[in-house]
């Protein structure tokens, strides 16, 4: 229940990829927004961190394949039955930025009882190397609103 209108919300998912994972490996996490029937959630941005097997934040160049190329991950967000935006986008582009944040040009609207999911897909031709396990921590920056009726 919203105690202020709008109420800031942060939703975090963790997507762990292990050595040997191959192109197309996909991990989907569902988010419980705990919103009431008269509230909606608006997601305004995405923040991203890569975390290594030892729990340390990885530099952009750490999760590499055998050819030295940086591991590529794609992110998609599903609100209800739809992907928003309609195509996946590159996690690498977000992670290269200094603040590791992507501000969305328009918010993602999640209504009551609509599932909110984050899907991360490994998109390199080469499998993840031994010792290069990586967890992508995806944080959705949002606000919860009481709907005007």
Q: Which two tokens stand for residue 141?
A: 């920056």
In whole angstroms, what is the distance from residue 35 CA to residue 112 CA? 6
121 in a domain, yes or no? yes
3 in a domain, yes or no? no
Q: Which domain holds residue 128?
A: 12-146
- pLDDT score recorded for residue 126: 74
- pLDDT score recorded for residue 66: 46
Decide: 95 and 83 in contact? Cβ < 8 Å: no
108 in a domain, yes or no? yes
* The overall pTM is greater than 0.95: no
- pLDDT score recorded for residue 57: 75
User: What CATH code is carried by the domain that includes residue 66?
Assistant: 2.60.120
4 in a domain, yes or no? no
Q: Which two tokens stand for residue 10?
A: 């942060």
How confident is the prediction along the chain (149 residues), in pLDDT tens digits per residue? 567 788 899 999 999 988 888 888 999 999 999 888 989 999 999 999 888 877 777 765 545 544 444 568 899 999 988 888 888 888 888 888 889 999 999 999 999 888 999 999 988 777 777 677 888 999 999 999 988 76
Q: Which two tokens stand for residue 59?
A: 């530099």
In whole angstroms, what is the distance from residue 87 CA to residue 78 CA? 10
Total domains in the chain come to: 1
For 35-62, the DSSP string reads --TTEEEEEEEEEEEEEETTSPBPPTTS
């Amino acid at each position: 229940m919203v105690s202020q209108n709008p109420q800031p919300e942060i939703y975090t998912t963790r997507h762990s990829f292990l050595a040997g994972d191959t192109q197309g490996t996909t991990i989907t996490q569902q988010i419980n927004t705990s919103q009431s029937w008269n509230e909606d959630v608006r997601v305004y941005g995405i923040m991203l961190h890569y975390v290594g097997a030892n729990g340390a934040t990885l530099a952009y160049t750490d999760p590499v394949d055998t050819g030295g190329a940086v591991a590529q991950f794609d992110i998609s967000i599903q609100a209800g039955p739809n992907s928003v935006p309609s195509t996946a986008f590159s996690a690498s582009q977000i992670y290269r930025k200094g603040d590791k944040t992507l501000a969305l040009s328009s918010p993602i609207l999640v209504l009551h009882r609509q599932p909110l999911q984050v899907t991360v897909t490994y998109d390199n031709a080469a499998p993840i190397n031994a010792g290069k396990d990586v967890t992508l921590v995806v944080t959705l920056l949002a606000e919860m609103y009481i709907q005007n009726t």
